[in-house]
Amino acid sequence: MNQRRVLLTGASSGIGKALSERFAREGYHLVLVARRESALNALAETLRVAHQIQVDVVSQDLAEPGAAQKLVKTLAQKGLEIDVLVNNAGFGLNGGFADLPLEQWNSMVQLNVTTLMELTHLLLKGMRQRGFGRILNVASVVSFMPCPNFAIYAASKAFVLSFSQALHHELRQENIRVTALCPGATATEFHEVAGNHGTLITRWMDTPEQVADEAYRALMRERSMVISGWINKPLPFFLRLSPRSWVLRIAEGMARHA
């Protein structure tokens, strides 16, 4: 039985749920975090019964300022130490920067960037004291390119990739590893939330289970980055060869509604 404990944000659906199931199969104890408490409780009960592990649930909005501090306080009250952090919660919106309200962009930056960064900082302290830590940060293939009509989302994921790889290097002398996961289009609720239906993005999608499996293996191999899905892997190579104006036009076309 694996006695290590994993905290997963965005565990109520999609990639986060599939990652929770993947870690549970390996015998890790879990802390599941998202807003939808009933979905978290249902998943927690299934995983407890199937794998005889401890599963705690924290229902919290992570897009609020101070969310990471509040979550860490809850963990301390429950006496839960975190060995593996999975920063997965995130959302995107398909729309022009000037057309959507600023509150939505602020909320996205808070969740995709600030909470991820703050939670990493706060939980690293305990990882360092205990001499062990693994961190999986969910970025995206859009981390590698600017995306018109996904401008803030792509910029937020560029932050996640850059931050994670730099941190992986900074901590290389300690027993703490950081892996950035860059999924391509994956069949989850993400596209409903983003308003992607009818776009080319949703034409070819991996399953969240495929993505979770690749992510888990990359984390165990202590890799600084993994692009999931064989079709997505050559993307950084092609992007390096292509003029930026082409990249912008192709990215714009992918996100356009039919």
Ligand X SMILES: NC(=O)c1ccc[n+]([C@@H]2O[C@H](COP(=O)([O-])OP(=O)(O)OC[C@H]3O[C@@H](n4cnc5c(N)ncnc54)[C@H](OP(=O)(O)O)[C@@H]3O)[C@@H](O)[C@H]2O)c1
User: Distance between CA 170 and CA 91 in Å, rounded?
Assistant: 28
Stretch that binds ligand X, among 41-49, 57-65, 77-85, 122-130 (CB under 6 A): 57-65
Stretch that binds ligand X, among 82-90, 172-180, 219-227, 239-247 (CB under 6 A): 82-90
Binding mask 126-155 for ligand X (x = CB under 6 A): ------------x-x---------------
Alpha helices, DSSP H, located in 146-234: 151-170, 190-194, 208-220
Contact 32, 45 (CB under 8 A): no
Query: Which of helix, strand or coil describes residue 49?
Result: helix
Contact 185, 251 (CB under 8 A): no
Contact 149, 255 (CB under 8 A): yes
Binding mask 157-196 for ligand X (x = CB under 6 A): --------------------------x-xx-xxx--x---
Q: Say whether residue 111 binds ligand X (CB under 6 A).
A: yes
Binding residue for ligand X, selected from 91, 210, 248, 256, defined by CB under 6 A: 91
* Residue with Cβ nearer ligand X (114 or 188): 188
* Residue with Cβ nearer ligand X (45 or 189): 189
Q: Which of 153, 159, 163, 216 is catalytic?
A: 153
The number of residues that bind ligand X (CB under 6 A) is 30
* Residue with Cβ nearer ligand X (70 or 128): 70
| 216 catalytically annotated | no
Output helix, strand, coil percentages for the chain, rounded to the nearest 5: 50, 15, 35
Binding residue for ligand X, selected from 6, 12, 114, 136, defined by CB under 6 A: 12
What would the two tokens of residue 82 be?
């975190």
Residue nearest to ligand X (CB): 14
Angle value at C-alpha 80, between 70 and 20, nearest 5 degrees? 90
Contact 189, 91 (CB under 8 A): no
* Residue with Cβ nearer ligand X (63 or 255): 63
Residues 205-244 that bind ligand X (CB under 6 A): 208
Contact 183, 230 (CB under 8 A): no
- Which residue pairs, CB below 8 angstroms and at least 24 apart, start in 239-248? 239/144, 239/145, 244/146, 247/145, 247/146, 248/146, 248/148
Binding residue for ligand X, selected from 30, 34, 75, 255, defined by CB under 6 A: 34
Alpha helices, DSSP H, located in 37-101: 37-51, 67-78
Binding residue for ligand X, selected from 61, 209, 222, 252, defined by CB under 6 A: 61
The residue ranges that bind ligand X (CB under 6 A) are 10-16, 34-36, 39, 61-63, 88-92, 111, 138, 140, 183, 185-186, 188-190, 193, 208
Supply the residues annotated as catalytic.
153
